[in-house]
């Protein structure tokens, strides 16, 4: 009797893939030699990283005076970049945790890359915390550690201290979630390894995975527990980041809408960055059958939703500033739209509110070129959002005599470039030495979401046996 698949839902895996094909297609880039494209991209990333590292050390050597900060604008690109990178890191945990709990099958092909993006983005964000401390060797003072300096303790009432706990917890849980999800795939690479060195390294990192029913059961329990722990973090981390501003009394910052507004903006920018990375991976590693237009369209729907929420938040801010009757609050927002930084405000509105509405069109939502372009535009807009919130609220305060403009210096720009070099160097290393798509989870949806059912449950494809003893033993 032939298998029948339902045409109700569009398949998430195309090309009639078998279990063997999944293993072969996704393991290929790990086991093969680096491609020419990867080598060129990695070389550029390392050069950018080295240039940026030199600039960061010069910033520390000379002091923060090399930035464009002044007596009025004490925070600028450093905190803008920090908040931007933390926001980008949100999509990975949302895809991994929340969509897992909601049993969304389309997450399986993109969760690995999104989780890696989260970890690397949080690392980039942390570098700006160290940068703007000025004396990074004293960074441990931000931790409530026993010390011999008398009553030297962190101020637990400060949201900057809450940031330390929120970011470090988020990074730790995200790292554990990402690594635990890698175990079945590391075991697959271990079993296929041809050299003793590869077999030893992947074997050590796979933590003795044997593919037994008990191991899989524990893996499922662990995934649900970590998803449950991670879900509140998706909401709490950027909420606490927003409190760096919302708990102050500065007009433009002192507002209760910041927590949900920042969370929506973080998911918005995070999904846009996932789109950029996934679309490149899809082409370079020839994974079009696993990262399909369905995945891309689903993520574009999330971008449309969160972009609309952010747009409503922008309008709400203006309404409340007027409704409050506080002239300083009203001026802060009028100054954003019509003051010296009007160009940044309208760039933000165009990129974050107007542009994403193009995704209401199904043709644009399913277009690779449009998706990539609009995702870049969204992240440009989200950077401008953070810049507008921080700089335009500070540069004109209660005293006109202290009004000042912020102009970035070479080191403001170079330290930002450093973070891109770091991010792409880490991501390219991940893409070469680890499977960028979760093989184990893609295999779980082959029967229900494949364009064509596998020829055999055992995974026989093209007359060959699956080169994965762990998987064979489990399915036989």
Read off the pLDDT of residues 281-314 as tens digits, 9 standing for 90 and up. Answer: 888 888 888 888 888 888 899 899 988 999 999 8
Residue 32 reports pLDDT greater than 90? no
Residue 30 reports pLDDT greater than 90? no
Residue 171 reports pLDDT greater than 80? yes
pLDDT for position 465: 41
The number of C-alpha atoms within 13 Å of 320 and in the hemisphere containing its C-beta is 14
Residue 276 reports pLDDT greater than 70? yes
Between CA 50 and CA 272 the distance in angstroms is 27
Q: What is the mean pLDDT of the chain?
A: 84
Residue 324 reports pLDDT greater than 80? yes
pLDDT band at 91 (very low <50, low <70, confident <90, very high): confident
Note the pLDDT tens digit of each residue in 66-78. Answer: 888 888 888 888 8
CB-based contacts of 111, cutoff 8 Å, min separation 6 = 92, 95, 96, 99, 100, 181, 438, 441
Q: Would you tell me how many other CB atoms lie within 10 Å of the CB of residue 110?
A: 31
pLDDT for position 233: 83
- Range 244-256 average pLDDT: 85
Q: What's CA 293's distance to the chain center, in Å?
A: 20
Token couple for 315: 């309008």
DSSP per-residue string spanning 310-364 = HHHHHHHHHHHHHHH--HHHHHHHHHHHHSTTHHHHHHHHIIIIIGGGGGGSHHH
Residue 172 reports pLDDT greater than 80? yes
Residue 460 reports pLDDT greater than 70? no
Separation in Å, CA 129 to CA 124, 133, 345, 414: 9, 6, 25, 16
pLDDT for position 462: 47
**pTM for the model:** 0.87
Q: Any idea of the CA torsion for 234, 236, 239, 241, to the nearest 10 degrees? A: -90
- Let me know if 312 is exposed, middle or buried by CB neighbors in 10 A (0-12, 13-18, 19+): middle
Note the pLDDT tens digit of each residue in 380-405. Answer: 999 999 999 989 888 888 888 888 88
Residue 8 reports pLDDT greater than 80? no
pLDDT for position 457: 45
- Range 130-147 average pLDDT: 79
Between CA 259 and CA 108 the distance in angstroms is 29
- Let me know if 401 is exposed, middle or buried by CB neighbors in 10 A (0-12, 13-18, 19+): exposed
Q: Which residues pair with 13 in a beta bridge?
A: 450
Between CA 65 and CA 42 the distance in angstroms is 32
188 vs 92 pLDDT, higher one? 188
pLDDT band at 124 (very low <50, low <70, confident <90, very high): very high
Per cent of the chain over pLDDT 90 is 19
Residue 43 reports pLDDT greater than 90? yes
Q: Which domains can be identified in the chain, with CATH numbers? A: 19-142+154-446 (1.20.1630.10)
Residue 458 reports pLDDT greater than 50? no
Residue 34 reports pLDDT greater than 60? yes
Q: Residue by residue, what is the 3-state secondary structure of 173-191?
A: HHHHHHHHHHHHHHHHHHH
255 vs 451 pLDDT, higher one? 255
DSSP per-residue string spanning 248-290 = S-STTT--TTHHHHHHHHHHHHHHHHHHHHHHHHHHHTT-TTT
């Amino acid at each position: 009797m032939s298998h029948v698949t339902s045409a109700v839902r569009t398949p998430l895996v195309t090309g009639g893939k078998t279990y063997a094909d999944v293993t072969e297609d996704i393991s290929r880039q790990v086991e093969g030699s680096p491609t020419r494209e990867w080598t060129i991209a990695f070389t550029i990333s390392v050069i950018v990283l080295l240039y940026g590292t030199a600039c960061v050390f010069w910033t520390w050597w000379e002091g923060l005076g090399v930035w464009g900060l002044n007596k009025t604008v004490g925070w600028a690109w450093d905190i803008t970049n920090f908040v931007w990178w933390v926001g980008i890191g949100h999509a990975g945990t949302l895809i991994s945790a929340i969509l897992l709990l909601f049993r969304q099958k389309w997450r399986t092909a993109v969760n690995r890359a999104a989780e890696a993006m989260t970890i690397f983005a949080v690392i980039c964000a942390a570098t700006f915390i160290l940068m703007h401390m000025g004396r990074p060797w004293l960074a441990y003072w931000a931790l409530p550690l026993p010390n011999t300096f008398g009553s030297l303790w962190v101020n637990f009432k400060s949201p900057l201290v809450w940031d330390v706990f929120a970011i470090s917890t988020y990074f730790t849980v995200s790292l554990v979630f990402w690594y635990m999800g890698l175990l079945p795939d590391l075991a697959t690479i271990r079993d296929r390894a041809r050299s003793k060195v590869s077999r030893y390294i992947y074997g050590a990192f796979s933590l003795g995975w044997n593919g037994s029913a008990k191991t899989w059961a524990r893996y499922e329990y662990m995934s649900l527990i970590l998803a449950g722990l991670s879900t509140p973090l998706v909401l709490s981390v950027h909420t606490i980041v927003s409190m760096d501003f919302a708990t102050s009394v500065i007009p433009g910052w002192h507002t209760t809408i910041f927590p949900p507004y920042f969370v929506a903006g973080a998911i918005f920018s995070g999904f846009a960055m996932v789109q950029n990375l996934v679309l490149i991976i899809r082409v370079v590693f020839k994974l079009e059958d696993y990262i399909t237009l369905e995945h891309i369209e689903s993520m574009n729907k999330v971008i449309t939703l969160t972009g609309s929420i952010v747009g409503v938040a922008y309008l709400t801010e203006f309404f409340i500033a007027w409704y409050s009757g506080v002239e300083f609050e009203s001026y802060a927002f009028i100054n954003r739209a019509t003051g010296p930084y009007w160009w940044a405000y309208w760039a933000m509105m165009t990129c974050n509110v107007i542009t994403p509405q193009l995704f209401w069109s199904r043709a644009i939502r399913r277009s690779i070129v449009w998706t990539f372009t609009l995702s870049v535009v969204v992240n440009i807009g989200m950077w401008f959002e953070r810049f507008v919130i921080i700089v335009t609220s500070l540069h004109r305060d209660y005293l006109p005599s202290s009004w000042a403009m912020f102009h970035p210096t070479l080191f403001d720009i170079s330290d930002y470039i450093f973070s891109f070099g770091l991010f792409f160097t880490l991501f390219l290393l991940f893409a070469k030495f680890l499977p960028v798509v979760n093989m184990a989870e893609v295999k779980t949806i082959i029967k229900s979401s494949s364009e064509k059912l596998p020829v055999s449950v055992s995974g026989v494809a093209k007359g060959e046996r699956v080169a994965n003893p762990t998987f064979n033993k489990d399915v036989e």
